[in-house]
Amino acid sequence: MPKRNKKASKSKKISLSQIVRVFNKYPKKSLNYKQLAKQLGVSNFEQRAGLEAVLNQMVNKKLLIKPKPGKFQIVKGKESFTDQSATGVIDIIASGAGYVSLESSDTDVYIPKEKTFHALHGDTVEVRLISSRSSKREGKVVRIIKQGQSRYTGILTVSKDFAFLATDSPKMYTDIFIPLGKLNGAKSGQKVLVNIQKWPEDAKNPIGEVVEIFGMAGDNDAEINAILHGHDLPSSFPKNVALVAAEIDTSIKKEEIAKRRDFRGVTTFTIDPDDAKDFDDALSIRKKANGLWEIGVHIADVSHYVIPDSKIDQEAYARATSIYLVDRVIPMLPEILSNQVCSLRPNEEKLCFSAVFDIDNNGDIQSEWFGKTIISSDIRFTYDEAQQRIEKNKGSFNQEVATLNRLAIKLRKNRFLQGSIEFEKVEVKFVLDEKGNPISVVPKVQLASNKLIEEFMLLANKRVAELIGKPANQKKIRPFVYRIHDSPDPEKLKAFQLFIEQFGYEMKLGSREIITASMNAVLTAVKGKPEANLIETLAIRTMAKAVYTTKNIGHYGLSFEYYSHFTSPIRRYPDLIVHRLLETYLKHNAPVSSVILGLEDDCKHCSEQERKAEAAERDSIKYKQVQFLQDRVGQQFTGVISGVTTFGFFVELIENKCEGLVRISSLDDDHYTFDQDNFCLRGRRYKETYNLGDRVDVIIKSADVIKKQLDFVIA
């Protein structure tokens, strides 16, 4: 026992952070050697010698002073760095300061602007933590481990002696300096892409080179391409990928047909938006002798044509998703595949991967089958055309469409009884002229035909995930790609509950069943009300973000224990992975190491690409909103306050759903401050408030197409 104590005391080392913590307890006191030793639990000779050495180092580094001989005190007004360091990714905010999300902690560390060490948004950095008497963790960047982003888009300004880029990114807090020899033909006023080459420690700005010219700022194609590249997304396919795609053998061999279940003689059709070209799903229907309905959900067999690790596959993986902007689609696969070979066009034989269900008249599944098929679609319906057959019961295949709709209603009802939440936020669509300029805004209406397709896609996605993931269906654990949706943040739910009380709605909190039932009741009650879109939007914001992962926790919003994405391999790479895994498991009923290697990394990559694509879509919508309203400056509109911040509030116009900012500086009738707890701006003198959800009349003050910014003032 004595030997263990002696060994322990020898191994105990007094660190800088331990000493700093003692001094931070007594910032105004000077402590002598014995007082420090007692606070630190130092008792033996070796530790005392080590303590004395550390104290002298701290005096030399001007972290401590000696107000009297033998007395030490922390330097007043100076930060004290601990010997703790950690790594993480930095998130830069508009001021130039940042927050580092540490790999070793759930708590972010605040980094003042002057202590970012030239780190840019998304960089992986090493942080030295600063001792603080407040609850806020603070630090400084001491090393950039990995660069997160080196390319930025923006508007170029060229003068006689130098040039600089004012970036589009709100996360980039400084301009980029560009030597005249690095312009590569770019001119002042153009939208360009710049690659940062270096940022010397003593330089105020990073130094870069123009690597791509999009065109003049404000030009539609220039702005859209800048949006894509600003989110590190492609705008076209590399030439080598296009050449490989053109050489794909698109013929269907007899021996391939022989391996598949033949649905060419079964009534089959597609239902898609009127402007769609990539038809990746079709439905078949026929009545069986036993009275059951055989419903086939047929999905384009992209995996037959896209071979793992081929050039096309590598490009598809890098993109991970098709990108849907207001005026164009950037497909995941080359057009010959997405719009031709794999698109389930009518009266053409197509290879599919299918989920086939025998369903009774109550919408209950009696049996199911999954496998490779060949189909020939009889007709292509738009949603409006299918809706006409549902409403009027007339037209070709009207009985089949009506039956599918009736079964979809049963499936939908059962799904909500099981706890699915019904989100139906109103969305709008821009009508564009031949040059891509918006000429009107129309709401996207969710028809019964939309819900019909949605229900059968959800069914296929759910049952495929259950087939692979349910313990009863597997002898060994089979890694898979799940689409998960975590439970909502309790604090966000509480805030939502308090907010909707202002409108007279009640939100009950408690178990999952209570929350989902109450949320559905609220969403049903607000339908048709002026505040409907706002409350639906806020309800969605309370929810977690759905992601891809191999670690299944279920899908909260759908209330599915198992859920995946199987139905859109033309436009989502995770669906292509699911097809490959499903084919493997149907053949071998066991995992194959070469198939599952790095699967979780693939999931993370696909989730990240999805977020980028969504951000690009939002930016394209903002751009078109400003374009649409640029000729209406000075006009008055009625809107609803859709967001409140420290610098003003956002207003969504009721007429066209465009959103702009009323700056707090423009409110000249009082001094307003942000009341975070009550989602409002409150006047200090007259106590007037601007609340989230309030109706207000505004005038469009400015519409800056280049900055993609709408400014409103109160009418």
Has residue 331 got a pLDDT over 90? yes
* Phi–psi pair at 518, nearest 5 degrees: -70, -40
Please state the rounded mean pLDDT for residues 646-668: 93
Domain 633-714 sits in CATH at 2.40.50.140
Domain 80-146 sits in CATH at 2.40.50.140
Has residue 233 got a pLDDT over 60? yes
Please state the rounded mean pLDDT for residues 181-201: 94
Burial classification of residue 99, based on how many CB atoms lie within 10 Å of its CB (0-12 exposed, 13-18 middle, 19 or more buried) = middle
CB 70 within 8 A of CB 56: no
What 3 state SS string does 37-48 have? HHHHCCCCHHHH
- Between CA 562 and CA 553 the distance in angstroms is 8
**H helices of 327-447, where?**
335, 383-392, 398-417
Signed CA dihedral, 341, 346, 352, 353: sign only:
positive
Relative orientation angle of helices 398-417 and 448-469, to the nearest 10 degrees:
60
Has residue 11 got a pLDDT over 60? no
User: Could you say which of 3.40.630.30, 2.40.50.700, 1.20.1250.20, 3.40.50.1220 is the CATH number of the domain covering 151-217?
Assistant: 2.40.50.700
For 98, the enclosing helix (H) or strand (E) is strand 98-102
What 3 state SS string does 216-262 have? ECCCHHHHHHHHHHHCCCCCCCCHHHHHHHHCCCCCCCHHHHHCCEE
- Between CA 652 and CA 662 the distance in angstroms is 11
Q: For all residues of the chain together, what is the average pLDDT?
A: 88
Q: What does the pLDDT look like over 664-704, one tens digit per residue?
A: 999 998 999 998 777 789 999 888 999 888 899 999 999 99
Please state the rounded mean pLDDT for residues 363-379: 97
Domain 2-74 sits in CATH at 1.10.10
CB 139 within 8 A of CB 130: yes
Domains 80-146 and 633-714 are alike in CATH topology:
yes
Has residue 5 got a pLDDT over 50? no
- Between CA 470 and CA 480 the distance in angstroms is 11
Whole-number pLDDT of residue 8: 37
For 574, the enclosing helix (H) or strand (E) is helix 573-588
Q: What does the pLDDT look like over 401-454, one tens digit per residue?
A: 999 999 999 999 999 999 899 887 778 889 999 888 899 988 888 899 999 999
Q: Of the ranges 127-141, 404-418, 506-520, which is most confident?
A: 404-418
Q: Where are the domains of the chain?
A: 2-74, 80-146, 151-217, 449-617, 633-714
Q: Which segments of 281-398 are extended strands (E)? A: 281-287, 293-300, 323-324, 329-330, 349-359, 365-376, 379-382
Whole-number pLDDT of residue 15: 66
Nearest to 343 by CA among 386, 281, 293, 295: 281
